[in-house]
Amino acid sequence: MSHITLIRHGQANTHARDEEEYDRLSTLGHQQSGWLGEHLRQSASHHTRLYTGTLLRHRETAASMALETDLIEDARLNELEYFNLARLMEEQHGLPFPTEREDFVAHLPQIFTAWKAGKLEGTAETFADFETRVAEALHDIAIGDGPALVVTSGGVIAIALRRMMELNIASTARIALAIMNTSMHRLFPIGAQLSPVLFNAVPHLDIPDRHFAQTHF
């Protein structure tokens, strides 16, 4: 079993209100990704495989990292459709879409709770299906040869940690809210299972003149 380093994509379009508008990197998102690629090259990090989801923001992040590793796309690494879930939550339960960053802190756990409980009709996939596809993708990557980098999204990373740490839905939501753009999260084989050994690491942004680039949205 090989270790996996999950990477959240760079900052996307923060002014978006639907899935399509959100799915592109901001100028800062490209810069964050470039700094991460530079860090990985300078630290001589050894990864024989590079995976992304099929979303544009995943592919743009990998491109800006500019690593000399062949790219493998896997749709199972795509993010949950948060904007669509939020729209259904507003239509069916009257919960308005948040307009301020602080409002997301209360909004996301309510979305996750309703989705997991099957209280949202018309979703693209169930919570269980999302969780299953993430687990299956990471299992398939883990049994491959050599360490792997996986560029994906915050929800995928939070679900991966939820399964490994047996987190409840409230804790899973808090994890998702904490994950920074272009942060690294390493899953290492301990015994017969992958276990988290690194969370939310941004060494490429942890110098004074880059602190402004430590973004969550």
Domains of the chain: 4-180+200-213 (3.40.50.1240)
- CA–CA separation, 143 and 1 (whole Å): 5
pLDDT for position 16 = 82
Tokens 């209360």 label which residue?
106
- CA–CA separation, 82 and 112 (whole Å): 10
Phi, psi of 178 (to 5 degrees): -80, -20
First-to-last CA distance in the chain? 33
- CA–CA separation, 66 and 21 (whole Å): 24
pLDDT for position 66 = 96
Residues of the chain with pLDDT under 50: none
- CA–CA separation, 134 and 104 (whole Å): 23
Estimate to the nearest angstrom the gap between the alpha carbon of 87 and the chain centroid: 21
pLDDT for position 98 = 86
Which 8-state DSSP code applies to residue 151?
Answer: E
* 84 in Cβ contact with 20 (< 8 Å): no
In angstroms, the Cα distances linking 87 to 10, 42, 93, 94 are 24, 43, 10, 10
Estimate to the nearest angstrom the gap between the alpha carbon of 73 and the chain centroid: 15
pLDDT for position 101 = 75
pLDDT for position 44 = 80
SS3 content of the chain, % helix, strand, coil (to 5): 50, 15, 35
Cβ burial of 52 (10 Å; 0-12, 13-18, 19+) is: buried
Tokens of 217: 């949205």
Tokens of 80: 């949950």
pLDDT for position 59 = 98
pLDDT for position 53 = 98
SS3 148: strand
